[in-house]
Amino acid sequence: MDLLNTLVDKGLRRELPTREEALAVLATSDDDLLDVVAAAGKVRRHWFGRRVKLNYLVNLKSGLCPEDCSYCSQRLGSDTGILKYTWLKPEQASQAAAAGLAGGAKRVCLVASGRGPTDRDIDRVAGTIKAIKDQNEGVEVCACLGLLSDGQAERLREAGADAYNHNLNTSESTYGDITTTHTYADRVDTVTKAHAAGLSACSGLIAGMGESDEDLVDVVFSLRELDPDSVPVNFLIPVEGTPLAKEWHLTPQRCLRILAMVRFVCPDIEVRIAGGREVHLRTQQPLALHLANSIFLGDYLTTEGQAGQADLEMIADAGFEVEGTDQVTLPEHRVTAGGGCGSHESAGCGSHDGAGCGSHEAGGVCGTAAVAAEPRTDLVAVRRRGAGTDLAPNA
């Protein structure tokens, strides 16, 4: 296909595709899907080889959020049956992180529900960052705490945070349909604050909330303009008790096309498969590794993920390798240009499991090419282990 040859050439040159080209990727047929994956895979391998970066989430504070994000199981007034607890102590968070690091993760993402942190919350997180870094040499730590006030990003940087995650989630034109308690501009402002403070910016999207193909392209182009080091792609997990519980539009093929489009628009940026991969990609997860160079290991914030050992086996069986702590994630030109995700000066979370940062409980994609999928409610399980419980975490 001439389209795919053009997109590969542009990706190898770090040249932005046109909107029409990005839309055309989403409109390709299932018959062309393997060609799309192969083309985007060339771009992924050019910039990232066959490495897969592992990230691990620690939910510092679960539930009890005043925001009304429709995709989120921790939203105001939700009745989802998730774990609810206040701030973990630094030693508890460090212990939770240790499980993921032992499983091969090189980055820990510290997430807390809520509109945004107070100054006291920043102090709490600073203590947690210190506890984790004291015990684990070379670990990357990303904070995901919601909307930041002036000076807070700088304080997190001084405390040892490498990155900050705050997802845009969807296009500016549809943002008000998903959330009313804060704005799209608020989210852009927080990503900008993180950048300005010298933190590695991590910002992504949630696919499957009723958006159009145009909305998906809009948000990915907006992310490219913000120039984060990492872009997490979440697929809505329709959790019972949330307004989007009936939104089951995604197919594995649709998810792969979305990941390919993101790779073509963000060729040299860390693309992370975040929440919902187990629910929507299912047996096609190994194919997605040809498009994304980063995943979460184990469970998410409020829902369970694939067993950590199964993730490691999947990566090996697909012919990829786990990225080591001595390897830098981003290409050299991005690292030397200002920090770089994957040196020990960067990080990012980005799962959409229900937090003020836009964590990962979102997931289906509609759009013109989508075919309604049978709801796989059997694949959605509320997390009952790990942080906030007495049971061992999944890592």
Count of CB atoms within 10 A of residue 191's CB?
Answer: 24
Exactly one of 44, 65, 75, 266 is catalytic; name it: 65
Which tokens go with 390? 């007495």
Question: DSSP letter string over 135-166?
Answer: HSTT-EEEEE-SSPPTTHHHHHHHTT--EEE-
The helix/strand/coil state of 112 is: strand
The answer to whether 329 and 340 are in contact (CB under 8 A) is yes
User: Is-catalytic flag, 366?
Assistant: no
Exposed e or buried b per residue across 261-285, where buried means at least 16 C-beta atoms within 10 angstroms of its C-beta: bbbbbbbbbbbbbbbbbbbbbeebb
Nearest Cα to 27, choosing from 210, 373, 289, 19?
19
107, 124, 142, 266: which is the annotated catalytic residue? 142
Which one is catalytic: 202, 341, 349, 366? 202
Instruction: Examine the residue annotation and report whether 349 is marked as an active-site residue of this protein.
Output: no
Helix (H) or strand (E) holding 314: helix 308-317
What residue type is assigned to position 154 of the chain? E
Catalytic residue list contains 72 = yes
Whether 255 is catalytic: no
Which of 155, 187, 272, 334 is flagged as catalytic? Answer: 272
Out of 69, 255, 266, 366, the active site residue is: 69
What distance lies between CA 15 and its chain's CA centroid?
A: 23
Q: Tokens standing for 366?
A: 């509609």
Residue 109 annotated in active site: yes
Of these residues, 44, 75, 107, 109, which one is catalytic?
A: 109
**From the candidates 44, 72, 157, 341, which is the catalytic residue?**
72
Report which of 235, 168, 231 is spatially closest to residue 200, judged by C-alpha positions: 231
| Spatial contact of 202 and 232, defined as CB atoms under 8 Å apart | yes
Supply the residues annotated as catalytic: 65, 69, 72, 109, 142, 202, 272
